[in-house]
Homo-oligomer: A and B are copies of this chain.
């Protein structure tokens, strides 16, 4: 899934669960990519994130939630590490995606209202209006 996974109709939702633990599209996309690739390296690469940044996000979650959100094992068959969501990690990801969907539905009318008041893009004149020549 692309980086746009967390951008439902332009919505970006962040929840401060407690001081020092914010859950937003970056962490959700990272968890989802780990689930899909079984690799923290591949997951961070998918989102153009450094491995170090990925670990920082994971560490924030691991220390903020009651337990770790991913489990890692060194030396998979490909030589690299193997990563997988724990049941808690899956729960966090699912709840976040549900919140996105529910919030997007709740704000859809207001977003449409606001978009009706955007500046119209300037149209290039594709053909200059021509004066009908006098007969």
Contacts and interface: CB of A to CB of B under 8 A. Distances in A.
A24 to B, nearest CB: 8
A110 interface: yes
Given A98-B110, A106-B106, A119 B17 contact: no
Nearest to A95: B110
B15 A111 contact: yes
**What is the copy number of this chain in the assembly?**
2
Contacts of A103: 13, 103, 106-107
Given A95-B114, A106-B103, A113-B95, A12 B10 contact: no
A98 B18 CA distance: 24
B16 A12 contact: yes
Interface of A: 7, 10-18, 21-24, 63-66, 88, 91-92, 95-96, 98-99, 102-103, 105-107, 110-111, 113-115, 117-120
- Top 7 A-B pairs, shortest CB-CB distance: A10-B16, A106-B106, A12-B14, A103-B103, A102-B106, A99-B107, A99-B110
30 contacts: A10-B17, A12-B13, A12-B14, A12-B15, A12-B22, A12-B24, A13-B107, A14-B14, A15-B107, A17-B111, A17-B118, A21-B118, A63-B119, A64-B119, A65-B117, A66-B118, A66-B119, A66-B120, A92-B117, A95-B110, A95-B113, A95-B114, A98-B110, A99-B106, A102-B106, A102-B110, A103-B103, A103-B106, A103-B107, A106-B106
